[in-house]
Amino acid sequence: MTTINLEKPALKALRNQYGETLVALGAENPNIVVLDADLACSTQTQKFADQYPERFFNQGISEQDLINTAAGLSTTGKIPFCSTFAIFAAGKGWDQIRNTVCYSGLNVKICPTHSGLSLGEDGASHQSIEDIALMRVIPGMTVIVPSDAVETDRVIRWAAEYYGPVYVRLVRPNCPVIHDEATYQLDAAMPHRIRVEREGTDISLVATGETVYHALLAAERLQADHGIQAEVLNCVFIKPFDTETLVNSARKTGKVITVESHQILGGLAGVVCEELSTHQPTAVRRLGTQDRFGQSGTGEALFKEYGIDWESIYNEALRWLKG
């Protein structure tokens, strides 16, 4: 259960934590190597490059080479982490990810940053709101979307230990820290278990990534204003997916709202509806980009425009429960 003060949380960028964790892993394991597509300062892999220049490879603006070189390194026993912006990794590198990495089951970690609407002013051409769908459809790919810096550290460390293709979706801006650094751990027996960040009985708010904070804040306000007990589920792993925890929550509340900075087609909403339709038919309302491209604007303004900020979640839940 989350116990962090949601009104005044500490802030830290997931990409900064990613860079710091890579440096720590580099000291622990000499087989860790890092590759980037000429964006090391933005993705924060520059931190690793500064510490271990002999284990860092700038592939230039060539995402296909980035993925294929990482694949080749993995066949020699190296554990490659490769980064660029999500729109380029999932889009330009998709063929190589599918046919070279996943088809061969290679031990490559793809960890792009600058995903989703919070990328902001860079606009539609750079806002990757399709990458979860593109990655989860590939056989053998693990898809992870951490919600804060603490969770980012843990999933990157897990990815380094796990053998196989992994996609970790990171964002650009500072994000609220919602987990306790001292106590947070992934479930050892089932790392992909959904985290129940807040228990409730009236409605299930199922979120992933940076929208988890907004779901938690909405749940807190729903209780304070109306006595509504919203359960908040944090889907760290999109694939493999923890159907059991989702079904238990849906069975208890009977109403589910999904929230994601991504298209509702093929993303979190897709997997939630797929699993519930099979195991626990439940009414679902989906918050995310509704078959629209992004646009230029601040991350805060875009979250409001596309209905995934805490106020939109709050209002959607209230309309459903009171209407």
pLDDT in tens, 43-95: 999 999 999 999 999 999 999 999 999 999 999 999 999 999 999 999 999 99
Among the listed residues 63, 130, 210, 220, the single catalytic one is 63
pLDDT band at 323 (very low <50, low <70, confident <90, very high): confident
pLDDT in tens, 207-244: 999 999 999 999 999 999 999 999 999 999 999 999 99
pLDDT at 3 over 60: no
pLDDT at 5 over 80: no
Contacts for 26-32 with beta carbons within 8 Å, 24 or more apart? 26/51, 26/52, 26/55, 27/51, 29/79, 29/160, 30/55, 31/77, 31/78, 31/79, 32/78, 32/79, 32/81, 32/160
pLDDT at 143 over 60: yes
The one-letter amino acid code at 16 reads N
Q: Which domains does the chain have, with CATH numbers?
A: 11-176 (3.40.50.970), 195-322 (3.40.50.920)
CA atoms within 13 A on the CB side of 133: 16
Neighbour order of strands in the sheet with 283-289: 195-198, 230-234, 203-207, 255-263, 283-289
- Quickly count: other Cβ atoms within 10 Å of residue 41's Cβ: 12
**Is residue 305 flagged as an active site residue?**
no
- Quickly count: other Cβ atoms within 10 Å of residue 295's Cβ: 15
Q: Are 127 and 85 in contact (CB under 8 A)?
A: no
